[in-house]
Amino acid sequence: MELLIGPFSELLSFEGLSLKGALSDEELIIQKEAGVWVKDGKVLKTGPFHDLSMEAIAQNVRISHLVTPMVVLPGFVDAHTHICFGGSRARDYAMRNAGKSYLEIARSGGGIWDSVQQTRKASKKELIADIKNRAQRHLKNGITTIEVKSGYGLNQEQELKMLEAIKEANEETDAHLISTCLAAHIFPKDFDGEKEVYLEYILSDLLPELKIQKLSNRVDIFIEDTAFEEAMSKDFLLKAKGQGFDLTVHADQFHPGGSQIAVEVGARSADHLEASRDKEVELLAKSNTIPVVLPGASMGLGEPFGPARKLLDGGASLAIASDWNPGSAPMGQLLTQAAVLGTYEKLSTAETLSALTFRAAAALGLSDRGRLVGGMLADMVAFPVGDHREILYHQGSLKPTMVWKDGKLC
């Protein structure tokens, strides 16, 4: 398929912006009255719509004319979600707002283990339907690539069920779902053995099966005293890496230390970072590990935001993800969360939008999306305004009216 789309009032390509460090809005290259030429699901080129339309007419290429002001930018990438789950944790939310602690909620039957039990009860068919519904909502909001974790199964049978559901849902939705194995989410209460034995069970029994069935090439672990300690986590991650898996880490959510492990093992990303100190910021800035902050979890738990400003000023990259999950981050509104984070952390428009596009793609190891330049996937989102600054100004209440995945209008 070959198609010219435009004219867009403004086109933000993110061409030339660096992967790491602070960004000023003056660095944004904004094309006015621009067109996007799409061929075989990729951006062939962009440029002045008038010139491109003359060329398209001469080559008998179809033109999709826009008649209202529109701003187009690359499709958003949500690099950290848990949208494969069963049930609800509304009870946890109410208890937390009433002053109950994490441990008190867990002791009363809530917490991650509650989601594990509800997800285990759900059929694969039910999980697929729920994933598709959540992914479709994300897609309508301009999120064209969505990372999806397992981690509510916590045994081989149930983790495989989750990852199979993610794979099948990916085949039935226009959004691109990227699966991550988070079998090391928490230590399951019904496992017969110690934490180290459970991690070896994942390595020896589950991960080889993922390779055989091609269910995931990414592995995650939650590094916390209440989940898995640093030394055993590092050993687990290095062994998973030795099996050929990419790595990501739930790091520094409540206590520092996890991000250092992420850097030491060469993880693609270190996610959360609410408890990161200057030491962790410096480590991340000197590494190729992408820091991913999750404002939805901070808003859901009433915790501080990850140190986005310090990370950027320190020379690190920055991605922003939703952490959409049934417990700590049930909102699932990525643009709202990013806009609110930007207000509190004083992020420029360029920094916030980059954290949702090419920098978020890098957190997933993807170099084929996140910028609107020749050769990239034609994943695009258009908002019904003439000025790109309106997008964050409305804090998520302004919705896109057009979304393309691989050049196809969704």
Render pLDDT for 9-19 as a digit per residue (tens, 0 to 9).
Answer: 999 999 999 99
pLDDT at 106: 81
Instruction: Supply the pLDDT for residue 125.
Output: 98
Enter the pTM of the model: 0.98
Question: What pLDDT shows up at residue 139?
Answer: 98
**Does residue 103 register a pLDDT over 80?**
no
Q: Do residues 97 and 33 lie in contact, with contact meaning Cβ atoms separated by under 8 Å?
A: no
pLDDT value of residue 350: 98
Name the maximum alpha-carbon separation found in the chain. 70
Q: How far is CA 93 from CA 89, 100, 111, 191, 302, in A?
A: 7, 10, 10, 27, 11
If one counts every other C-beta atom within 10 angstroms of the C-beta of residue 315, the result is 15
What does DSSP assign to residue 202?
I
pLDDT-wise least confident of 4-18, 91-105, 125-139: 91-105
Question: Is residue 186 pLDDT above 80, yes or no?
Answer: yes
51-79 tens-digit pLDDT: 999 999 999 999 999 999 999 999 999 99
Question: Could you give the angle at the alpha carbon of 254 between the alpha carbons of 253 and 260, nearest 5°?
Answer: 60
Rounded Cα distance, 275 and 310, in Å? 13
Cβ atoms within 10 Å, residue 59:
9
Using pLDDT thresholds of 50, 70 and 90, give the confidence band for residue 286. Answer: very high
pLDDT of amino acid 348: 98
Report residue 101's pLDDT band, with 50, 70 and 90 as the boundaries.
Answer: confident
The predicted structure's pLDDT at residue 67? 96
Q: Is 90 exceeded by the pLDDT of residue 44? A: yes
For residue 166, is pLDDT > 80? yes
pLDDT at 6 over 80: yes
* Confidence label for 159 from pLDDT (cuts 50, 70 and 90): very high
Which DSSP letter does residue 377 get?
B
337-382: per-residue pLDDT in tens?
Answer: 999 999 999 999 999 999 999 999 999 999 999 999 999 999 999 9
What is the arithmetic mean of pLDDT over 37-44? 98
Q: Is 317 helix (H, G, I), strand (E, B) or coil?
A: coil
Average pLDDT score over residue span 97-110: 86
Instruction: Report pLDDT digits (tens) over 143-157.
Output: 999 999 999 999 999
Instruction: Over range 317-343, report the average pLDDT.
Output: 98
- Residue 112 near residue 152 (C-beta atoms within 8 A): yes
Q: Give the per-residue pLDDT at 160.
A: 98
Residue 378's alpha-carbon distances to 3, 24, 166, in angstroms, are: 11, 25, 23
Query: Mean of the pLDDT values across residues 87-108?
Result: 90
Nearest Cα residue to 50 out of 63, 68, 69: 63
**SS3 label, residue 227:** coil
Whether 102 has a pLDDT exceeding 80, the answer reads no
* pLDDT number for residue 107: 82
Measured between its terminal Cα atoms, the distance across the chain in Å is 15
Please report the pLDDT score of residue 285 as a whole number: 98
Q: Which pair of structure tokens corresponds to residue 116? A: 């594990």
pLDDT digits (tens, 9 = 90+) for 208-251: 999 999 999 999 999 998 899 999 999 999 999 999 999 999 99
Distances (CA, A) of 192 to 153, 167, 196, 207: 16, 29, 11, 19
pLDDT of residue 181: 99
Contacts 24+ apart (CB under 8 A), 96-100: 96/301, 96/302
Asked if 320 and 352 touch (Cβ cutoff 8 Å), the reply is yes
Q: For residue 348, give Cα distances in angstroms to 28, 308, 312.
A: 11, 11, 11
Distance CA 392, CA 401 (A): 15
What integer pLDDT is reported at residue 294 of this predicted model?
A: 98
Q: Is the pLDDT of residue 313 over 80?
A: yes
Measured CA to CA in angstroms, residue 185 lies from 18, 51, 155, 410 at distances of 33, 53, 11, 33
